Structure 1
Amino acid sequence: MANYKFDASKMDGIIKKVVEAINGSKKEICEIADSARKEHRNLESELHHLKIETAELIKEVDEIEKELQISRKKLMAVNKNFEKYSQEELKQAYEKADNLRIELVIKREKEKYFVKRRNDLEVRIKEVLRTVQKADNLMAHVGVAMEYLCGDLINLGNQIEDIQQRHVWGIRIIKAQEDERQRVAREIHDGPAQSMSNVVLKAEICEKLIDVDVEKARLELQNLKRIVRDSLVDVRKIIYNLRPMSLDDLGLVPTLQRFTSTFQDENKIDIQFKSRGSISEIRSVISLTVFRIVQEALNNIRKHAKANSVVINIEFLEDKLRISIIDDGIGFDAENIKVRHDIDGGFGLFSMKERVELLDGEFSINSRLGSGTRLSIMIPLTQNKGDADEKN
């Protein structure tokens, strides 16, 4: 059992680091997407200008081809009637035709380069668009992951801590049940079991004396009757501690009146029990919860408070039950009360709080050192239909 605890704060730290890492990745993805969009705009602009230049170049090539055709016709005419032209005119005709052929070759090479560049730009633009789309998809997935992390999983540590606490309380409840069984077994062994042993012994003595000394046998029978009565008292007390039958027979208020009166006589603590209002029927789980709370509160006062007097007020409202338990004991610092998570720790105040909250009620403690303690409890009398009565 040494390793049953789990450090929930470590889980919170791990989740926070994951969130930070994802946020960092999200930032990098945003930078990649922005860079890709910027490159896409630049490539689109370059492609636009390239298309304009290509169109102008094609127009120039067409014009040069037309000029070249004219020049070739003129050159053919000059060659056919060269005697009509001077040497200079022949030279100019040849040079012009050569220059046009050279310029046409250069322009066509340039046109091929522009076409290749245009095709490369279009391919590059498609690749950049795919990069942008991938970045957008990644951003969407990261957004979903962040929603989960920042929504459901960010409180995973608290959930684990709650599960851990429930696990601890489950173990403590099992231990409490075993302790209660041990206590009942010890009470039966030390009380009724011993008494029954004495009854058997006294019965054997009476059996032997009945024919020898009737008077002595009568005295032994009187002792036997006293032992049986005391044993019956012990059995009833054990049954009462397990579950007061008077809760079902008489109701909550009479049961508490009887319990507080007995507690006052046994512990010499002045108890004022007051009740206001009434209700025709109260659910068994509420009656038993209120009885256990009063029982636990008085036991705590007897053990720790060093109080001389206690006031218990129970008020039946229209749909709620209000309870206050006030003592004049030494009190304690309520603000510094913390629930212990050790398995061997007792239930006490936290047990009362848990019982009340299971019934959708409210529980508060008001106490200061040297100023006594006040417990205030409010329990709704109307519960969900699915609630089952508490078994104890």
Structure 2
Amino acid sequence: MVMKPRIKRLDEIIDKMVNVVEDSKDEIFYISEDAREEYERLVIELNETKDKVLKHIKAEKELSKKVQTSKRHLSEVSKSFDRYSEEEIREVYEVTHNLQTKLIMLREKERNLRLKRDDLERRLIGLENTINRADGLVGKVSIILQYLNEDFQQVNEILKEAKEKHKFGLKIIEAQEEERRKISREIHDGPAQMLANILLRSEIVERTAREESLLIAVAEIKNVRQLIKQSLQDVRRIIYDLRPMTLDDLGLIPTLNKYLSTTAEFHEVSIDFTEFGTEKRLEPECEVVLFRLIQEAVQNSIKHADASHIHVKIEITKNHIIAVVTDNGKGFDPSIQKDDSFGIIGMKERVDLFGGKLVIQSKVNKGTKVIIRIPNQ
């Protein structure tokens, strides 16, 4: 009973692991998107900066020409002080100085713009690498997540199968105990009561033979004989339910014939039996498994499907043994697993042990077909 909490905790751990990987994938995706937006913004800013650099270069060239012209003019004025007034000389000097100052400032702005351009280009390269790495990581995480989901799905299937086997194991124990109680009741109510009655009648026979006439004693002996015969039939029936003796002595087909005819008569249903290629005996273990599988399928048709007609067919070939049990019962939806479907689980377990395959075809109100296929080893 400790198994369920452990499986539940394992399921929670698996779900948390998958959620962590999915969250990591989302985080990487958001980082990639942020980097992409920043990249696009920096591209626009870089293009604007490049345009400004070009404009500053053009303006610098024009201003540089003006500075050169002003310097030449200042040189001429400096050589001919006598031809120009002091005011004119100061004006030429100030114009040249102002032009030189503007040129220095323009060159400083151009240098800053170039530095900004270079910095933007480096940042764009870094962002491009980040985007590429993020995209690569998203792809890798997606692959990892796919593998995790597939692997964890297999784990869940294994856990589910383990839980089913655990339930099935408990059901087997319960069924064994119930079968023991059933046999105990049958022996107590049948042969045990009969034997007690026989013992009592034998005492009556003894007293009658001693105290009364022999004719009455003989009649009482006949009653005792009838009780013994009935008790023997009950014992044989119980033994047959545990394991049919004819299965070891005569084989699968005669045992099935007897079982199906007895079942049909007892439950008042129509059961047809068809066999092909059954000349040779099968391995004892194989005969027991096939008998129990067909017995389970027939009992399911009677008890659960309320079938009025059942057709059992068995075909033995060189490589395979195929048994088919078809009924006209109420059917069911095979995709819906019920809590009490341990009979089907048990049938699958038996078939798996022999490397075979069990197929159940059924529809609601359309009957059921059970196909059993196992290798003929």
| Same fold (TM > 0.5) | yes
The separation in 2 between residues aligned to 1:268 and 1:381, in whole angstroms, is 34
Residue in structure 1 matched with residue 34 of structure 2 by the alignment: 32
Cα separation, partners in 2 of 1:198 and 1:101, compared to 1, 3 Å:
same
CA gap of 1:238–1:100, structure 2 versus 1, over 3 A, is same
- 2:217 is equivalent to residue 249 of structure 1: no
Show the counterpart of 1:388.
Answer: none
1:379 paired residue number: 373
Per-residue deviation, residues 258-296 of structure 1 (Å, max 9, x unmatched): 323444565566655442212535344542233224434
Give the number of the structure whose residues are more often helix, by fraction: 2
SS state of the match for residue 361, structure 1? Answer: strand
Which amino acid in the other structure matches residue 316 of structure 1?
I
Taking a change above 3 Å as real, the CA distance of residues 259 and 117 of structure 1, as seen in their structure-2 partners, is closer
Query: Is residue 45 from structure 1 mapped to residue 36 from structure 2 by the alignment?
Result: no
Stretches of structure 1 that go unaligned for 5 or more consecutive residues are 384-392
Change (3 A) 1:44 1:252: farther
Aligned counterparts, 1:306-385, within 5 A: 307=308, 311-325=311-325, 331-334=328-331, 341-343=338-340, 347=343, 350=344, 354=348, 358=352, 359-365=356-362, 368=365, 375=369, 377-382=371-376
Q: How does 1:195-214 map to 2 (within 5 A)?
A: none
SS at structure 2 position matched to 1:290: helix
Q: What is the distance in 2 between the residues matched to 1:40 and 1:152?
A: 43
Q: Is the 8 A contact 2:49 2:113 kept in 1?
A: no
Q: d(CA) in 1 for partners of 2:53 and 2:376?
A: 81
- Residue matched to 2:171: 172
Q: Structure 2: which amino acid aligns with 1:174? A: I
Q: CA deviation at 1:256?
A: 1.4
User: Is the counterpart of residue 105 in structure 1 residue 114 in structure 2?
Assistant: no
Which residue of 1 is the match for residue 287 of structure 2? 287
**Alpha-carbon distance change, 248 to 228 in structure 1, aligned in 2, over 3 angstroms:** same
Q: Deviations over 1:342-378 (max 9, x none)?
A: 45x784xx46864686431333358858xxx674534
Q: Is the 8 A contact 1:168 1:342 kept in 2?
A: no
Q: Cα distance, 1:182 vs. partner?
A: 1.8
Structure 1 residues 284, 33: CA separation in 2 closer, same or farther (over 3 Å shift)?
farther
* Preserved CA contact (<8 Å) 1:64 1:104: no
Aligned to 1:239: 239
1:143 to partner: Cα distance: 2.4
**Retained in 2: the 8 A contact 1:50–1:114?**
yes
Paired residue type of 1:361 = L
Segments of 5+ residues of structure 2 without an aligned counterpart are none
CA distance in 1, matches of 2:64, 2:240: 116
Q: Check whether the contact 1:357–1:363 (CA below 8 A) recurs between aligned residues.
A: no
Shift of 1:253: 0.7
Amino-acid identity (%): 27
Aligned CA-pair RMSD: 5.5
- 28-37 or 248-257: which moved more? 28-37
TM-score (norm 2): 0.65
Of 141-150 and 314-323, more deviation after overlay is shown by 141-150
Q: Which has the higher contact order (CA 8 A, sep 6+)?
A: 1
Give the aligned partner of residue 386 of structure 1.
Answer: none
Q: Secondary structure of the equivalent of 1:334?
A: coil
By how many angstroms is 1:306 displaced? 7.3
Question: What secondary structure does 1:278 align onto?
Answer: coil
Counterpart CA distance in 2 for 1:267 and 1:282 is 29
**How many pairs does the alignment contain?**
360
Partner of 1:190: 189
Aligned to 1:390: none
Q: Which residue of 1 aligns with 2:116?
A: 117
**SS of equivalent to 1:333:** coil
